[in-house]
A and B are shown apart, each in its own frame.
Chain A
């Protein structure tokens, strides 16, 4: 329907306004800046990067198109392959570790204990520290303090610096990255625990359930949707691990703990911009796959999200 065909008696000005502003201008005012910023800083660079991944561009100067050569080379590059191996293993292990520990701490902090808010503050503190600072502090602890203490108590596995060990360094990265991520997960679990009505706990205690049964039959099922969201968030963040690795091992020893994000970023300074853009596109597709997979799991579970 257009303004000209409007029947008599209706306000053509209002119709015109409805045509051009189907939503109230106040909403547009809020949405448009976000869309502009998102497009300029995320969508535009993404498309630009995808374009350059088919060239031999280094970031400046002359370049030409080279088709899929970057992609072909990336698939046979052991450095890139190993970085995916490390990143996936790290993300899975760190994700499980973070969620198990965070759930345990959240349940403890939700119990009726003394100094509850004081203790909660202490457990949230790692959240305000930058991952880089935390990892520099832990580098010192793991390479200097831990071996001295381990030697004193004759605990052989930690007597040498595990960050200098090609096969064990990744465990150090898992520990520190989880240490940084746990507070965020605790907050979400605590929010979930607060939402569970005290009446159900009263009911099971009258039925004579013990602590373990209460957890298995009541707490865990009612908290499941929060576990799903925590798993998705922490896994996504761990796939992008960068600062903790840079601070702890710099990707070493050798290239044992080099993450995908590090490999991609190295291209900028190695004259491999276009090549690593191809790597970034591959990484984007992989994370997209995980995101879609996780979303479908939530939908199937009907997790109330």
Chain B
């Protein structure tokens, strides 16, 4: 039976993984130093953190940090052997650690006071545990519409659009110049979800408030509840579909890599992707000049917000030896120094979560700075959906068929079923 063999495999695999874990966890470094493990798995910045760890270790007599960049966190918690300190992407899946109370309360640390409250709030929008501060934001990534500066000049657009009307006018200019206004890649489900879908919904409704009320509605979700996908998402979804004439043909057969290649080659004026795509585009064509602006989804410029997510956030496990806890807090203090946090974010096209942090100066993403500074951001509507619900596939289907009510009823049905089993 697959389940049996699978359990067997998982069991054996766990036993195999536990051995190096235990060795790393139990041994003390040479000269009486406490050894701790930092887990950090964001591939692009592993060398950056290797460097930080080396600098810290060189400055230390009592603590020695090892950088683990590959272990599975869920398996580590199942074994009861989590890393001593973790600095990774914070999303709905990792928020389960918060919800289940396996992370330490960091509220009493002085570093917890240095973080901008509206950025700290991003943590609790997904989950919280008894009002504790389980996670400290380290790096905020902000996303919007990436545009080709030279093509904007070419079609005669001098300033980025701040209202929907202005945005549509820019699209028309591109269209009459024979250039694809916006490049879309429906072939991958995540690209449409994080770009077009999250930007349109986030620009039109209060996403965090919607999901909070959705959670409160629970099993009563339906025509009579205060919120539902049918009530709140129908307008944004129709708006998404209304933009389709400005997209490239055959978007269903285009994938993320195709989008990067096409945008790097100047085949489209705009591209709904995050800063990660900026690096990819520059790798293909280092000469392309880019900027970013948040998608204006309404004609009220003061409503315009950008999408944000906690690209990196720090936490400590709740169950931890006292020596390890002290060492982890020492290392946390090093990582959370304003000079270290701000330098990291400046170098990685991200935004610092600290109060009074200097602005991001890279022109690639600096167009989003004022929105981040003023708290005009939201976590994407798709990011609140558990992986059990294939929202990306639902969106893909809606983009192909134009069936908005099919999408909203699928989402309402899936969330209601989820509520039935999670409320029991």
Contact = CB atoms under 8 A, between A and B. Distances in A.
A157 B253 CA distance: 18
B183 to A, nearest CB: 20
Contacts of B421: 66, 69-70, 72-73, 275
A265 B2 CA distance: 10
Contacts of A58: 96, 100
A45 to B, nearest CB: 4
Given A60-B102, A79-B390, A270-B387, A41 B420 contact: no
B100 A239 contact: no
A239 B2 contact: yes
Contact of B3 (A62, A77, A280): A280
B105 to A, nearest CB: 15
Max chain A Cβ within 10 angstroms of own Cβ: one of B12, B93, B100, B101: B100
Interface string B81-113: 000000000000100110011100000000000
Max chain B Cβ within 10 angstroms of own Cβ: one of A42, A265, A284: A42
Contact of B78 (A60, A76, A240): A60
Interface string B1-31: 1111111101110000000000000000000
A265 B6 contact: yes
A149 B424 CA distance: 55
Interface in A257-271: 260-261, 264-266, 268-271
A66 B424 CA distance: 5
A61 interface: yes
A102 B247 CA distance: 50
**Secondary structure of the B side of the interface?**
helix
Interface residues of A, number: 42
B311 interface: no
B7 A49 contact: yes
A268 B14 CA distance: 13
B417 A73 contact: yes
Given A60-B77, A261-B6, A270 B390 contact: no
Contacts of A79: 388, 390
16 contacts: A46-B3, A58-B96, A59-B78, A60-B74, A61-B97, A66-B421, A77-B417, A79-B390, A254-B390, A261-B2, A261-B3, A270-B93, A270-B386, A270-B387, A271-B387, A275-B388
Given A45-B8, A60-B80, A287-B1, 13 more contacts: A42-B4, A45-B11, A58-B96, A60-B100, A61-B97, A61-B101, A76-B417, A242-B6, A254-B393, A254-B397, A265-B6, A269-B74, A284-B3
